[in-house]
Amino acid sequence: MQNLPATPRVLWLSLCAALLGGCTTVGPDFQTPKAPAAAQYTRQGLPAQTASAPGPLGGVQRFQTADRIAPDWWRAYGSSQLDGLVDAALHNSPSLAAAEATLRQAQQTYEAQAGSTLYPTVNAKLGASRNQANAASTGQSGDRTTTYNLYNAGIAVGYDFDLFGGNRRALEALAAQAHYQQFQLEGARLTLAANVVTAAFTQAQLGAQIEATEAILKAQQNQLEIARKRFALGAAARTDVLTLETQVEQTRASVPPLRNKLEQTDHLLAVLIGKEPGAADLPRFTLSAFALPQTLPVVVPSALVQQRPDIRASQALLHAATAQYGVAISNLYPQINLSASLGTQALTMGALFGPGSAVWSLAGSLAQPLFNAGLKAGANAAEASLQAAGANYQQTVLQALRNVADALRALENDAQTLQAQAAADASAQESLKLVDQQYLLGAASYLQLLTAQQQAQQTRIGLISAQAQRLADSAALYQAMGGGVMNDAAVQGSPPAAQPAQASAQ
């Protein structure tokens, strides 16, 4: 720069001073929304413990305040087969692979924009041309022509001076979009794990219900055979036989739908772990293979907003909308572009880098919108988008609080239902025992024994449903709590949100 003439040197120094001077970033800076003020999820608060019932899945469940949920929360059910299925799903699911690729796309989009926004562009050029000129083109008389070669080499530098922070706001929005995709991925992982766990419970429930229904069908068939023999001896009416035949066929008709649901559940589990339905080697679960979590962690509402991936994703969209509003506002202000080039130019290759061949240029431009009604409308549209993002965030938080409240109340009601079903099952089994003893003593008929067996099996089906529902609603609470989503420090590869300049104006 020492060889520059005085006037270009002054211009260069002025532009450098402008670049190094203070900048402002227009538009509102993003502020993290306030956490919910509620101290509890339900009006009546949490009970000290749930009701209990006899059996392996009838134990007391207690709620314990926790800061975070364990990321591998499904291991609380104590089933290594279930753990293996969830791990397989998290490693092999195509839906997670798609979410991961979308996250990488967002991260690389941020990196690409950051490279052209934060740094000037530098391009090198080397060229040669064959030229012909006549005397008239240079203002001389005559028709003499001159043919010559022109060689040039140089470096060009360009920079869009982000005086009012529009580019930085755009970069901030891209960073927020990358964070949104990160939490979308976490939400997909949570949903996938919960679906595998719930499907395993459903498989166990359906298997037990089919077994109990087939036992009822067997008892009814025995009753029908007795009725037919009595009818043949004239000791029973034809209507008795027809009634029993109707019951048998109705029970028989209820088995195929249960088997169909069981097979569909198996197909679902196969797809969830990334396998073809016909190629997956799935375990056969039973309800007795699962342990009921005795202590259920509950994060307070103010911490839930940092735990649930859907809330964090909605917050990231709010951040992006805030930054985009800043971009729209910056379009109303002047835009400055700087460019400079330094190179050499000569008529021969040998003289290209010799003394006297240097050429340079320095340019700057400023554009100030004077009248463009569309720019103001664009800013108004961005502001409306920001307001919509804020309302969507509030709705997401309310829905999350409702999910937790529903899960908490369901667990208490499940425990009471299971308690009643267990008592009914115990009474049915005791009644069956008494009828069996009476039958052995000749005080009860075989038909009475079969009826007692049928009633006991029907009661057992209700107990099975109550046990499975309690397991499923425990998983629903883990899911509603966010299932151990990673915190900001654990976000791998996601770019930090662009920080606005110290000064800001709206």
Question: What 8-state DSSP symbol labels residue 139?
Answer: T
For the residues 223-240, what does the mean pLDDT come to? 85
CB within 8 A of 62, min separation 6: which ones? 48, 49, 50, 294, 295, 296
**178 found inside a domain:** yes
**423 found inside a domain:** yes
Distance from first CA to last CA of the chain, Å, rounded? 39
pLDDT in tens, 214-224: 988 998 898 88
Closest CA to 220 of 197, 246, 239, 200: 246
Ramachandran region, residue 398 (left: φ > 0; alpha: ψ -120 to 50; beta: rest): alpha
**263 found inside a domain:** yes
Q: Which domain holds residue 382?
A: 25-119+163-335+373-505
Which CATH number do you get for residue 92?
1.20.1600.10
The residue with tokens 């949920």 is 69
For the residues 286-308, what does the mean pLDDT come to? 92
pLDDT band at 375 (very low <50, low <70, confident <90, very high): confident
Is the CB of residue 10 less than 8 Å from the CB of residue 150?
Answer: no
For the residues 480-496, what does the mean pLDDT come to? 58
Q: What is the pLDDT of residue 416?
A: 92
**469 found inside a domain:** yes
This prediction's pTM: 0.82
Q: What is the pLDDT of residue 10?
A: 40
**316 found inside a domain:** yes
**88 found inside a domain:** yes
**245 found inside a domain:** yes
Identify the residue with better confidence: 185 or 364: 185
For the residues 49-75, what does the mean pLDDT come to? 88
CB within 8 A of 31, min separation 6: which ones? none
**367 found inside a domain:** no
Count of domains forming the chain = 1
Most confident stretch, 15-29, 426-440, 488-502: 426-440
Q: What is the pLDDT of residue 258?
A: 95
Cite the beta strand spans of 135-289 per DSSP E.
145-161
pLDDT band at 57 (very low <50, low <70, confident <90, very high): confident
